[in-house]
Amino acid sequence: MGTKNFNSATDLITFTRASGGTALRKISYGDQADGTLQLWNHSNNVPRIEYDATGAVKGLLIEEARTNLLPTSTAIESWNKLNVNTSSSTVTSPSGNQDAVLVKPNSGTPPYTFIWYTTQFNTGVITSISVFAKASGKDFMTMCNSSANTNYASFNLSTGVVSNVTANYTANIEDYGNGWYRCSVITPTGFNDRAIFAVADANNTTVSVANGEDGILLYGAQLETGAFPTSYIPTTGSTATRAADVTTLPTSAFGYNQKAGTVLVEFKSNKPLNEQSGAFNLSDGTPNNRIIHYTTSQFHRGFVRNTSGTQADIRSFFYRGATSELVKFAMAFAENDFATSANGASVDTDTSGTVPSGISVLGIGYFYPNIPSSNLINGHIKSIKYYPRRLTNTQLQELTT
C-alpha cells in the first residue's frame, strides 16, 4: 500500500459522538466511499480493509515491505512440469477473476506428479512460500523442495487440514472461502533448488489419472524472505516489491487533548515474539515526544517519553501468547497518572510522570516515528478509539475484556 496519510473524513475516517460523554471521539475505518467492499489488491495509497472467509472484518492490514521472488506468479502454467498437464479454468480465483490454473496428473507414478519453478533464492535464509489452492477432483497438494521426495507439508484441500510437516518447518492453511485455501510453508534455510507444488490423492502417497481432468487449482504463488507469508504480490515477468504500509492521522482531525486521554486498540499481529512491534503511537513526529503501545517478548507495554526522558514504561499484566492472537489494549494518560490494561487483565499504573506536549500525529500499526517500517505489527488493526480524557481503571479493564 505504501504511505497513507489520513487528513479528514473524506479519507475514509468517520467521527461519531457517543451519548453520555463516554467516547467523545471514535476513529473508525470504512472502505470505498460508496460502501463497496474492496477485497483484493487495493490500489496504492488506499487503506487495505480485509475480511475473512465468512465476511467478518479483520481490519486495516499493516505490513512491512516484501518482495515476491517468483517472477511469474500469475503464470503458473508456464512453469516446469513432470507427469502433469495444465489448462486454464473458468473457476473464479481469490482475485475475483477466472484466472486459476488447473494442474492435472497424466501419469500414475507418485510422487512425481508436480509443477515447479527452478530457484536458487534465499539459501540459508528463513523463507516463506505460499500459493492459493483448491481441490478439483484431487484433494491433496504437497509443497516440496529439490524433489517431491523431500516433502515440506501436505495440505488437504477438502478439509483444510495440514499434515506430514517436516521437522523444524512450519506450515499453515487459511480458508479464503469458495473452496480456496492459502497454503504456506516457512523454511528455516530457504530454497536451494526448486519450489514444487505436487498433486496427490492422499498425503502424496498415491495419485491416479482418473478421467484425465481431475487435479488441483492453483493461483498466486509467492516466495519471500521472512518468518511468515504476507499478502500476495502479483508478478508478471519479474520480481515485484510491495512498499511498507505506513498510516498516520493528524491529531487536528479528531480534537486531541494535550493534557489527558485514552487510546483503545484491538489488533492481531504476525510479528514473531522475539521482534518488537507496536499498535499505535501519538507523537510530534519524533521519538522525543511520544505515547505508544509496544511489545516485548512477553508483554504488551505502554511507554511515554518527552524531551526530559522516559516518563512511564508500564508492563501489562496480560502475557503475550502466540502470534495472531486477538489483543485489546488500552492506555490512559494524564499528569502523574498513567495506566494500561490488555485483554481484561489487571490494570498496571505509574503515578509519576509528565504528559508530552506538542503531540500532532497518530501513527497506526507502529510505535517508532522515525523508522516506522522497522516496527510494524504485520497484521490487522480491527479498531482504534481515542477518548480525550483519562478513563478510570475500571473502564480500562472493562473495555479490554
DSSP 146-187: SEEEEEEEEEETTTTEEE-PPTT-EEEEEEEETTEEEEEEEE
Among 33-42, 212-221, 389-398, which is the least confidently predicted range?
A: 33-42
Nearest 5°: phi and psi at 372?
-60, -35
Position 5 pLDDT exceeds 90 = no
Res. 168 pLDDT band, cuts 50 70 90? confident
| pLDDT above 50: residue 371 | yes
Residue owning grid cell 492490514? 61
Residue 117 has pLDDT above 90, yes or no: no
pLDDT exceeds 80 at position 108: no
The stretch 77-91 carries a mean pLDDT of 91
pLDDT value of position 266: 96
What are the pLDDT digits (tens) for 188-245? 877 666 778 888 877 666 677 767 689 999 999 999 999 899 999 999 999 999 999 9
- Comparing 158-172, 183-197, 247-261, the range with the smallest average pLDDT is 183-197
| Mean pLDDT for the stretch of residues 148-154 | 73
The domains found in the chain, sorted by start residue, are 3-64+244-400 (2.60.120.200), 66-241 (2.60.120.260)
CB 135 within 8 A of CB 179: yes
Its pTM stands at 0.85
By percentage, how much of the chain surpasses pLDDT 70?
83
pLDDT given at position 374: 86
Beta carbons of 375 and 368 less than 8 angstroms apart: yes
